[in-house]
C-alpha cells in the first residue's frame, strides 16, 4: 500500500490530538460542572437538617439548623445560622450556628460541589465550642469534625 501524502498524515495527527477524533486520546477539557447553589434544604450523615435562605447580593445568608445529635443534655431545638459564601461555580462558604438549647457555638467552613453524577454536595469542616465552666477547662472545650451534606430540596 502506498504511503499517504504528508498533508493527509498531518491532518490525521491534528484531528486525533486536537479534535479527539477516534478518541485515541482523551483530548477534551473536563466538562465545566454546573453551578452549586447553597439555598435550599440539606441533610448530613448525622441526620442533621438545615435550611438556607436566599443569598443577598453580597453572598450573605441566614437559615435554620436542626441537629441530629448533641453533646448537651438539653432537648434539641431548631437553631439559627448565619453565614456568607464566595463567588464562583463551586463556592466556598462559612456559617455559624448559635445553638438555642445550649451555650455552645459551631462554626462551619466548606465548599459546595457538583459531583460527577450532577448532585450538589456540601463538604464541611466544623469547630464546636462548648462553654467551659472555668478557664482551667478551656483546653478541652473545642471539638473538630467533618460533615457532608446532600440536598433534600
Residues near ligand BTN (CB under 6 A) are 44, 46, 48, 67, 69-72, 99, 102, 104, 106, 126, 128, 130, 145, 147
Residue nearest to ligand BTN (CB): 48
CA dihedral 140, 122, 62, 57 (to 10 degrees): 130
Q: Tell me the closest approach of the beta carbon of residue 115 to ligand BTN, in angstroms.
A: 20
CA dihedral 123, 81, 71, 130 (to 10 degrees): 110
- B/e letters for 62-92, b = 16+ CB within 10 Å, e = fewer, are ebbbebeebeeeeebeebebebbbeeeeebe
Which is nearer to ligand BTN, 33 or 40 (by Cβ)? 40
Which is nearer to ligand BTN, 85 or 124 (by Cβ)? 124
Task: Give dist(CA 147, CA 122) in Å, integer.
Answer: 8
Which is nearer to ligand BTN, 41 or 44 (by Cβ)? 44
According to DSSP, the residues that pair with 49 across neighbouring strands are: 43, 66
Which is nearer to ligand BTN, 15 or 44 (by Cβ)? 44
Q: Tell me the closest approach of the beta carbon of residue 80 to ligand BTN, in angstroms.
A: 13
Which is nearer to ligand BTN, 85 or 104 (by Cβ)? 104
Q: Tell me the closest approach of the beta carbon of residue 104 to ligand BTN, in angstroms.
A: 3
Length of the chain: 153
Q: Tell me the closest approach of the beta carbon of residue 120 to ligand BTN, in angstroms.
A: 18
Q: Tell me the closest approach of the beta carbon of residue 146 to ligand BTN, in angstroms.
A: 9
Q: Which residues contact 132 (CB under 8 A, 6 or more apart)?
A: 138, 140, 141
Amino acid at each position: 500500500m502506498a504511503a499517504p501524502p504528508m498533508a493527509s498524515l498531518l491532518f490525521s495527527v491534528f484531528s486525533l490530538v486536537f479534535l479527539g477524533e477516534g478518541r485515541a486520546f482523551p483530548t477534551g477539557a473536563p466538562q465545566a460542572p454546573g453551578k452549586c447553589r447553597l439555598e435550599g434544604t440539606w441533610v448530613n450523615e448525622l441526620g442533621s437538617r438545615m435550611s438556607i435562605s436566599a443569598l443577598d447580593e453580597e453572598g450573605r445568608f441566614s437559615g435554620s439548623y436542626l441537629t441530629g445529635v448533641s453533646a448537651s443534655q438539653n432537648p434539641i431545638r431548631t437553631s439559627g445560622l448565619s453565614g456568607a459564601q464566595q463567588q464562583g461555580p463551586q463556592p466556598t462558604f462559612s456559617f455559624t450556628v448559635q445553638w438555642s438549647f445550649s451555650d455552645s457555638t459551631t462554626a462551619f467552613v466548606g465548599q459546595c460541589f457538583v459531583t460527577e453524577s450532577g448532585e450538589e454536595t456540601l463538604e464541611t469542616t466544623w469547630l464546636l465550642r462548648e462553654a467551659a465552666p472555668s478557664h482551667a477547662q478551656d483546653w478541652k472545650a473545642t471539638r473538630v469534625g467533618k460533615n457532608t451534606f446532600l440536598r433534600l430540596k
